[in-house]
């Protein structure tokens, strides 16, 4: 058992070192980096598509996608004219900072304002891995049940932003939004919670506004 802990600590220490380099580069470039985390199918790629449709005319965007198999998500973003690179983990349930660093070198993206990293669909493993992001975002769709923040507390405590997705489906499902708000507020009193639907467009303006505000704040802190 102690050996297992030691190996895990060494993996996380190596990850921290790589994340620090990534963060330094993003800082020098003035790029806002967002790490999107959720269970499979909560709507990460669909939110990114809506974000690109809203912001790409005024901001430069690139996307790193993480999945265990297929290029599908990167292809969806490329179809919108956005540079996107797919990391295939071959089974691993999260991305790590060294993979992101290698992907950025391979992809050789132009300088961008916003870099999104869509993590592998999983609410647990990605939580422990810093990818050099400015902040983590956790997505929870209204079809997943309102008990999830307390069942998966680490990610809801760590994510600066919780995005409720698929709000257009609220009339058709049992999902107590107030219960989610209470859980998230108790796990993460400083966190923001946004309610969105990529289908109807509800809340997408708020989400994009939050990204623009954080980008402006990051850049004004550098000057
Ligand atoms: N009704 C509705 N469906 C949505 C919405 N957003 C996403 N979906 C649907 O949910 C399904 C999964 O969406 P994705 O964006 O692929 O989910 P994901 O989190 O990227 O999935 P993985 O990458 O596999 O983890 C698709 O069928 C989407 O069309 C929404 O706002 N409303
Ligand atoms: Mg996806």
Ligand 1 in contact with 183 (CB < 6 A)?
no
What CATH code is carried by the domain that includes residue 99?
3.40.50.300
When divided into structural domains, the chain yields a total of: 1
Find the range with the poorest average confidence among 6-15, 102-111, 129-138, 164-173. 6-15
Expressed in angstroms and rounded, the spacing between residue 220 Cα and the centre of ligand 2 is: 32
pLDDT averaged over every residue in the chain: 96
Expressed in angstroms and rounded, the spacing between residue 180 Cα and the centre of ligand 2 is: 23
CA gyration radius for the chain? 17
pLDDT digits (tens, 9 = 90+) for 121-135: 999 999 999 999 999
End-to-end CA distance of the chain: 48
User: Which residue range is the domain that position 70 belongs to?
Assistant: 2-222
Ligand 1 in contact with 73 (CB < 6 A)?
yes
223 pLDDT higher than 90: no
Helices (H), ranges, the chain: 2-29, 44-55, 72-78, 97-107, 148-151, 153-158, 177-187, 204-222
For residues 176-187, give the mean pLDDT.
98
Give bridge partners of residue 110 from the DSSP assignment. Answer: none
Note the ligand closest to the C-alpha atom of 68: 1
Q: Which residues contact 122 (CB under 8 A, 6 or more apart)?
A: 37, 39, 40, 93, 94
Give the pLDDT score at 39: 98
Closest residue CA from atom 4 of ligand 1? 166
């Amino acid at each position: 058992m102690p050996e297992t802990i030691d190996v895990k600590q060494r993996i996380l220490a190596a990850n921290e070192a790589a994340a620090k380099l990534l963060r330094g580069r993003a800082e020098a470039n003035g790029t806002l980096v967002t790490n999107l985390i959720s269970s499979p199918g909560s709507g990460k790629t669909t939110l990114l598509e809506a974000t690109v449709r809203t912001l790409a005319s005024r901001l430069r965007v690139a996307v790193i996608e993480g999945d265990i198999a297929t290029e599908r998500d990167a292809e969806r973003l490329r179809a919108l004219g956005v540079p996107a690179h797919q990391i295939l983990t071959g089974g691993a349930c999260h991305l790590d900072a060294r993979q992101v660093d290698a992907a950025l070198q391979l992809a050789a993206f132009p300088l961008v304002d916003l870099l999104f990293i869509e993590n592998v669909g999983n609410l647990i493993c990605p939580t422990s891995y810093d990818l050099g992001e400015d902040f983590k975002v956790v997505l929870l769709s209204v079809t997943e049940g309102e008990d999830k923040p307390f069942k998966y507390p680490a990610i809801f405590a760590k994510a600066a932003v919780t995005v409720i997705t698929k709000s257009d489906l609220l009339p058709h499902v049992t999902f107590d939004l107030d219960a989610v708000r209470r859980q998230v507020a108790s796990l993460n009193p400083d966190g923001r919670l946004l309610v969105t639907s990529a289908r109807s467009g509800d809340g997408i303006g708020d989400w994009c506004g939050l990204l623009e505000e954080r980008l402006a704040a990051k850049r004004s802190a550098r000057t």
